[in-house]
Amino acid sequence: MQVAAYARVSTQRQAQAQTTEQQLDRLRAHAEAQGWVLAPEHVFRDDGHSGASLRRPGLDRLRDAAASARLDRVLITAPDRLARNYVHQVLLVEELQKHGAMVDFLDRPMSRDPHDQLLLQIRGAVAEYERSLITERMRRGRLRKLQAGTLLPWSRPPYGYRLDPERPRDPSGVRLDETEAAVIRDLFARFTDEGTPVTALVQHLHRLDIPSPRGHRRWCTTVLRSVLSNPVYLGQVFANRLRRHPAEQRRSALLPIGCGQGSARLTDPAEWIAVAPVPAIVSQEQFDRAQERLSYNRRMARRNNRVHQYLLRGLVSCGRCRRGCTGRHMPKGYDYYLCRTKTQLPVMMPGERCAARYIPAQPLEELVWRDLCEVLAAPEMIAHAMQRARGGHWLPQELQARRANLRRGRVALGQQIERLTEAYMAGVVPLAEYERRRRDTEARLLALDGQERGLLQDADRQGETARLAAQAEMFCQRVRQGLEQADFDRKRELLELLVDRVIVTDGDVQIRYVIPTGPDGERESFCRLRTDYL
């Protein structure tokens, strides 16, 4: 029997206190008492990861191991170590059982008894409520300290400042780093007095070999703009100035969204909280001139260009370096899509220019539009692609045959339990052996239950696929009228709605489509993040 163990703590402080090791010691002792062998490669742990999220490296490795059918049983000290949210608990337990891995909780063992299931639900709800209560109390306490001026809103100081190592969150311990402060003054002077562009400032920092605020060898224009717009250099620390938002655009259509990605947006200045004064680096006049120049740059940015129209703007990716492509009008009058490393990225990454060729805009746009019209004219292609994406097409008789096999397996296991009980009652099998063999048989029975639930989910998914395919066909019928007479705005609207990405690798063009399946598909904006494409 292949046995695995999983342990988790929420904070690095708990990890340093070896709380995870205490959990693993209990799990190893339990496995040894049961006569099971717990291999080191089957020990999974998450140090400093919240149980409210499923994005945990140790949990991901455990789920991958279970999916590859390498595990028969998973040992965990308590359900809240697996997940804080009851819904997440049920999801993970069902997923592991579906792959044939039974879950054993040492503190609160699970069984098929409905009373135990109800108790588990109540405990999961209480744990989730407790976490929400703790989070709200911490938020309120932190807000009061910020308003009182006794707590810094950041643990990493802005570029140009240093913190007191003995009081890292005390505003009175903030002091200047004279070397970095001199860099800040030079950047503001070059930007406001000499009119040096931001990209030229980045190149200037590279030539001087000055590390970025995070200690990297290379600066980027985004970091430099945030430095030039940070009011802390006026001598005042503000809290609640930025607010995190979930990602709305993928950084690359060829890469999934990473953990913690999102965007930080400025809040209304009326919501800012003045925490405490710190030593100033630049004057108010110089800072105001820098903000005026940044505002002017935003108004004149290339993204606001309306002279040259690009039908596939924001939809083309380079198949070589997996970065986006931008439209560019050449002096001879031709339009091209260029890999971004040929335009902006060399400023931040010198020497990393992509070898991809220039992509002529007109032939590519005509190719994509022609292919889009063909797709809309053949809805059966969409239905076939949806069936492939959702795991293939199951015939009803095949599904019924597999369910019948599972039912026969359950009946056989039930008969084994009855014969085992009869042997124990007759004194043929000792109590310890009876309990061990009964647990193993019940575990196999639960695994069959999980497989049957998976089959039912497959059947539901096939029905959902058929419904979505029908809705996609209706959508195609609505939008394909008037395609031949469509003007630029109409074409652009359809491309934004129906094309996920156009990937160009030398002479090869790959078009990734997405077909809205809701009744109001024409009004859905594809600029938002659509999780069904990840």
Give the residue numbers marked as catalytic.
10
Phi, psi of 41 (to 5 degrees): -75, -10
Q: Considering only CA atoms, which of 234, 235, 240 is closest in space to residue 145?
A: 240
Token representation of residue 364: 């590519």
Helix pair angle (86-98, 114-148), 10° resolution: 130
Contact 307, 289 (CB under 8 A): no
Contact 262, 247 (CB under 8 A): yes
Phi, psi of 391 (to 5 degrees): 100, 15
Contact 272, 239 (CB under 8 A): yes
Pairing between β-strand 262-266 and β-strand 242-246 as defined by DSSP bridges:
antiparallel
Contact 513, 500 (CB under 8 A): yes
Neighbour-count burial of 264, counting CB atoms closer than 10 A to its CB (0-12 exposed, 13-18 middle, 19+ buried): exposed
Neighbour-count burial of 533, counting CB atoms closer than 10 A to its CB (0-12 exposed, 13-18 middle, 19+ buried): middle
- Cα separations in angstroms, 500 against 198, 289, 484: 32, 41, 22
Task: Indicate the residue type of 454.
Answer: G
Q: How many CB atoms lie within 10 A of CB 462?
A: 19
DSSP structure string for 90-128: HHHHHHHHHTT-EEEESSS---S-HHHHHHHHHHHHHHH
d(CA 522, CA 215): 47
Q: Tell me, what DSSP letter sits at residue 151?
A: S
Pairing between β-strand 3-9 and β-strand 73-76 as defined by DSSP bridges:
parallel
d(CA 348, CA 351): 10
d(CA 119, CA 108): 9
Q: Is 322 left (phi over 0), alpha (psi -120 to 50) or beta?
A: left
Q: How many CB atoms lie within 10 A of CB 531?
A: 7
Contact 288, 192 (CB under 8 A): no
**3-class SS of residue 216:** coil
Q: Tell me, what DSSP letter sits at residue 215?
A: S
Q: Considering only CA atoms, which of 409, 411, 441 is closest in space to residue 424?
A: 441
d(CA 235, CA 181): 12
Contact 128, 86 (CB under 8 A): yes
Contact 499, 405 (CB under 8 A): no
Contact 83, 112 (CB under 8 A): no
